[in-house]
Structure 1
Amino acid sequence: MRAFAISLVTVLTAGVVSLPQAAAASPAACFDRAAPVTYEEGRIDTPGTRVPYELVEAGGLGAYPEILRKSLCLAPSVSAAKRLLAAQGALLWRTAVARAQGKVAIGTIDRYDDRPLYWTRLLGTRDIRQWAPRFAVGAGERAALLRAYEYAARGITSTTFGPGVTRVLVSGFDPYQLNGEIRRSNPSGASALQLDGRTFRDGGRTVRVQSVVLPVTWSGFDAGIVEDAFGPHLVRGARERADLIMTVSQGNRGVMNIEQWAGAWRGGSADNNNEGEAELIPPAPGWPQPHPTAPPATRTGLKTIPSLTPEFIETTLPYQEMIDAGTGPWPVALNPRVCEWAAGTRPAGPVTCTDDGPSAGAQAQSGGGGNYLSNESMYRSNRLRRELGATDIPGGHLHISALVYPADPAVVIDDAFAADRAATIEQTVALVKAAGATVG
Structure 2
Amino acid sequence: MRLCTVIAVCATVLGVPQAATAAPAPDCYDRTAAVTYEESRIETPALPGGSRVPYALVEAGGFDPYVARLKRDLCRARSLPAAKRLLQRHGARLWETAVARAQGRVRMGTIDRYDDRPLYWSRLMGTRDIRQWVPRFPLGEEDRAGLLRVYEYASRGVASTRFGRGAARVLVSGFDPYQLNGEIRRSNPSGAAALQLDGLTYRDGGHTVRVQAVALPVTWSGFDAGIVEDAFGPHLTALARERADLIMTISQGNRGVMNIEQWAGAWRGGSADNNNEGEAELVPPAPRWPQPSPTPEFIETTLPYQAMVDAGTGPWPTALNPRLCEWPAGTRPAGPVQCRTDGPSPGGQAQSGGGGNYLSNESMYRSNRLRLALGAADVPGGHLHISALVYPADPLVVIDDAFAADRAATVDQTVALVQAAEKAAPRIRGAAFAR
For residue 177 of structure 1, report the CA deviation from its aligned partner.
0.1
* TM-score, with length taken from structure 1: 0.93
Deviations 1:49-88 (A, max 9, x none): 5000000000011111111010000011111011000011
What amino acid sits opposite 1:45 in the alignment? Answer: E
Deviations 1:303-361 (A, max 9, x none): xxxxxx10000000000111111100000000000000001110011000011111010
Indicate conservation of the 8 Å contact 1:12/1:64, yes or no: no
What amino acid sits opposite 2:386 in the alignment? Answer: I
Query: How many Å separate the matches in 2 of 1:11 and 1:109?
Result: 18
Residues 36 and 403 of structure 1, relative CA distance in 2, 3 Å threshold: same
The corresponding residue for 1:301 is: none
| Correspondence for 1:393 among 376, 379, 391 | 379
What amino acid sits opposite 2:348 in the alignment? Answer: A
Query: How many Å separate the matches in 1 of 2:210 and 2:277?
Result: 36
The corresponding residue for 1:35 is: 33
SS in 2 for 1:249: strand
The corresponding residue for 1:269 is: 271
Q: Within the alignment, does 1:210 sit opposite 2:207 as a pair?
A: no
For residue 93 of structure 1, report the CA deviation from its aligned partner.
0.3
Indicate conservation of the 8 Å contact 2:327/2:338, yes or no: yes
The corresponding residue for 1:58 is: 60
The equivalences for 1:373-412 within 5 A come to 373-412=359-398
Indicate conservation of the 8 Å contact 2:170/2:209, yes or no: yes
* TM-score, with length taken from structure 2: 0.94
Query: How many Å separate the matches in 1 of 2:333 and 2:326?
Result: 10
What amino acid sits opposite 1:393 in the alignment? Answer: V
Query: How many Å separate the matches in 2 of 1:362 and 1:140?
Result: 40
SS in 1 for 2:424: coil
The corresponding residue for 1:183 is: 185
The corresponding residue for 1:306 is: none
What amino acid sits opposite 2:98 in the alignment? Answer: A
The corresponding residue for 1:336 is: 322
| Correspondence for 1:434 among 404, 420, 435 | 420
Indicate conservation of the 8 Å contact 2:268/2:280, yes or no: yes
The equivalences for 1:16-415 within 5 A come to 23=23, 25-26=25-26, 29-48=27-46, 50-291=52-293, 293=294, 309-415=295-401
What amino acid sits opposite 2:364 in the alignment? Answer: M
Between 196-205 and 30-39, report the one with greater CA deviation.
196-205
What amino acid sits opposite 1:8 in the alignment? Answer: A
Q: Within the alignment, does 1:5 sit opposite 2:3 as a pair?
A: no
SS in 2 for 1:30: coil
Indicate conservation of the 8 Å contact 2:25/2:71, yes or no: no
SS in 2 for 1:437: helix
Residues 3 and 107 of structure 1, relative CA distance in 2, 3 Å threshold: closer
Query: How many Å separate the matches in 1 of 2:386 and 2:363?
Result: 14
Query: How many Å separate the matches in 2 of 1:138 and 1:23?
Result: 29
- Unpaired runs of at least 5, structure 1: 294-308
For residue 289 of structure 1, report the CA deviation from its aligned partner.
1.8
Query: How many Å separate the matches in 2 of 1:170 and 1:273?
Result: 24
For residue 438 of structure 1, report the CA deviation from its aligned partner.
2.1
Q: Aligned pair count?
A: 417
Query: How many Å separate the matches in 2 of 1:13 and 1:125?
Result: 18
Indicate conservation of the 8 Å contact 2:299/2:368, yes or no: yes
Q: How well do the aligned residues superpose, as a CA RMSD in angstroms? A: 1.4
For residue 190 of structure 1, report the CA deviation from its aligned partner.
0.1
Query: How many Å separate the matches in 2 of 1:12 and 1:263?
Result: 44
Query: How many Å separate the matches in 1 of 2:242 and 2:313?
Result: 29
Indicate conservation of the 8 Å contact 2:258/2:316, yes or no: yes
Indicate conservation of the 8 Å contact 2:10/2:108, yes or no: no
Deviations 1:187-211 (A, max 9, x none): 0000000000001211111111000
Residues 12 and 72 of structure 1, relative CA distance in 2, 3 Å threshold: farther
Query: How many Å separate the matches in 1 of 2:268 and 2:340?
Result: 18
What amino acid sits opposite 2:23 in the alignment? Answer: A
Indicate conservation of the 8 Å contact 1:171/1:248, yes or no: yes
For residue 11 of structure 1, report the CA deviation from its aligned partner.
5.0
Indicate conservation of the 8 Å contact 1:75/1:81, yes or no: yes
What amino acid sits opposite 2:232 in the alignment? Answer: F
- Unpaired runs of at least 5, structure 2: 429-435
For residue 24 of structure 1, report the CA deviation from its aligned partner.
5.2
Indicate conservation of the 8 Å contact 1:259/1:335, yes or no: yes
